[in-house]
Structure 1
Amino acid sequence: MKLIAHRGLSSLYPELTEIAFAKALELDIHGVETDVRLSKDGIVVCVHDPIIDRVADGRGRVSELTLQQLRGYNFGTEAMKQSVLTLDELLEMLVQYEDKHLYIETKHPVRFSRILEEQVVLRLRYHGLLFDPRIHIISFAASSITWMKEMAPQLDRIHLRRSWEKWLNPVPNFVGHPTGLGISVERARKNPEFIGKWGLPTYVWTVDNASDIRWAKKQGVDMLATNVPGRAAALLARN
């Protein structure tokens, strides 16, 4: 089972910051996960929420702030100040670790629509990673999975599924032809038959409880996103 550090080593360091990823990349795990959005001036930044209020010492919507404005805020703590991280900067970190994978979650809905995916593809191409099997695109938005298939069909595309989607898509006619499916650990517990269903690899989030980690391994989960990757790795090594 592949362990993925959710938003970097977010249980010990400010989420989606340089220090969080630096520490996660040092661990003996499969890879790291990041969320991405576009700033007002079209820069791909690693921020989960549409607004920065929760994770920075400022206020505002990511899409209404330029990179320079975002740089003016602290995304860390008083004792550990951190600037907003761009996807370019994260990719520069990744290339130093040849064994690590990166899961890029495109956040939607956003005012920029498919421009977000276009910019992600451009950044990957710039860093020589567009055809690298270590790059995985994940999203709750079927539209994002479709756009990525059009622009970079060689990339792994994991569609994160919500519970209500089974009513909209009762048959396995997945938009964008994803190469993997993702479900929450809560839904996986209730419906373990979804794991590996339709022959697609399963990505499960966000799994921090020891009993859930052991359960996921027994159920054959392929990829597991966790806030405690070090602890999860140690646990699996003992079991």
Structure 2
Amino acid sequence: MKIIAHRGYAGKYPPLTRLAYEKALELPIHGVETDIRLTRDGHAVCFHDPVVNFGTDGSGRTSGKTLAELRELNMGDEANPQRILTLGELIELVKEYEDKHLYIELKHPVRYGRMVEETVANVLRYHGVSEDPRMHVISFSPIAIGRMARLLPRIGRVVLRRPVLRYLYPIDPKIGRPDVMGLSLIRAHQHPRLIGAKLLPTYLWTVNDVTQMNWAANHGVDLLVTDEPEMAMWMLAGMGSVGRE
């Protein structure tokens, strides 16, 4: 089972910041995950929420601000200020580690629609990683994943199952040409047969309890997403498992 640090080492450092990613990338794990939103002037930035009220000292819609305006916000604290990262900056950071993977979540629905995928594809091309097997996109939107399949056919693609699909079980649609299927921890417990369904690897989020990590490993989860990558490392070490490629 491979470990992915959710928003960097989010359990210990401010999520989605350079500090959180640096600390996560220093660990012997598979890779890191980030969320992407577009700014008013077209930059892809690492940020989760549609508003900056949560996670920064500012307020207002993320998509309504320019990159320069977002750079003025603090995502850390007064003693250790952290500025928002662009996707390009995170890619360059990940590239410093030859064995690390990056999972890029495309947030939808958003005001900019397909521009999200087009911008992310352009950033990946610009940084020379559009065919790099260490780069992956993930989304709850199979339409977005399908767009990425057309824009960058060699990029890794993960479709996250939406909560509403629990009402359709055992129907389990595979849309958007994914090569990995995402599953929440709640759904995995409800329907463990979804682990490994479609003969595709399972990407399980977000697992922060050692008992649940152990359960995931014993049920054949391939990719474990966690805010506590060190906890997952030590759990897997105790089981004799491997947390990276």
TM-score (structure 2 length as normaliser)? 0.94
Deviation at 1:108, TM superposition (A): 0.7
Quick one: percent identity of the two aligned structures? Answer: 50
Partner of 2:68: 68
Partner of 2:3: 3
Deviation at 1:166, TM superposition (A): 5.0
Amino acid at match of 1:65: K
Q: Distance in 2 between matches of 1:72 and 1:52?
A: 12
Partner of 2:56: 56
Amino acid at match of 1:147: R
Partner of 1:34: 34
- Is this contact kept in 1: 2:35–2:106, CA < 8 A? yes
Partner of 1:16: 16
Partner of 2:157: 157
Deviation at 1:175, TM superposition (A): 2.1
Matches within 5 A, 1:159-178: 159-167=159-167, 171-178=171-178
CA root-mean-square deviation: 1.3
Q: Distance in 2 between matches of 1:159 and 1:215?
A: 22
TM-score (structure 1 length as normaliser)? 0.97
Amino acid at match of 1:199: L
Question: SS at 1:208's partner residue?
Answer: coil
Matches within 5 A, 1:87-102: 87-102=87-102
Q: Distance in 1 between matches of 2:167 and 2:216?
A: 25
Partner of 1:136: 136
Moved segments of 4+, more than 4 Å: 166-173
Q: Distance in 2 between matches of 1:43 and 1:163?
A: 29
Partner of 1:45: 45
Partner of 2:243: none
Residues 195-230 of structure 1 show CA distances to partners (whole Å, capped at 9, x for unaligned) of 001101100000011111011001110100000001
* Stretches of structure 2 lacking an aligned partner (at least 5 in a row): 240-245
Partner of 2:111: 111
Amino acid at match of 1:230: E
Partner of 1:209: 209
- Is this contact kept in 1: 2:157–2:178, CA < 8 A? yes
Question: Using a 3 Å threshold, how does the CA distance of structure 1 residues 230 and 61 change in structure 2: closer, same or farther?
Answer: same
Question: SS at 1:146's partner residue?
Answer: helix
Deviation at 1:58, TM superposition (A): 0.5
Deviation at 1:88, TM superposition (A): 0.8
Deviation at 1:156, TM superposition (A): 1.3
Q: Distance in 2 between matches of 1:173 and 1:22?
A: 36
Q: Distance in 1 between matches of 2:70 and 2:59?
A: 10
Q: Distance in 1 between matches of 2:165 and 2:115?
A: 25
Question: SS at 2:163's partner residue?
Answer: coil
Question: SS at 1:183's partner residue?
Answer: strand
Deviation at 1:81, TM superposition (A): 0.1
- State the number of aligned residues: 239
Question: Using a 3 Å threshold, how does the CA distance of structure 1 residues 192 and 173 change in structure 2: closer, same or farther?
Answer: closer
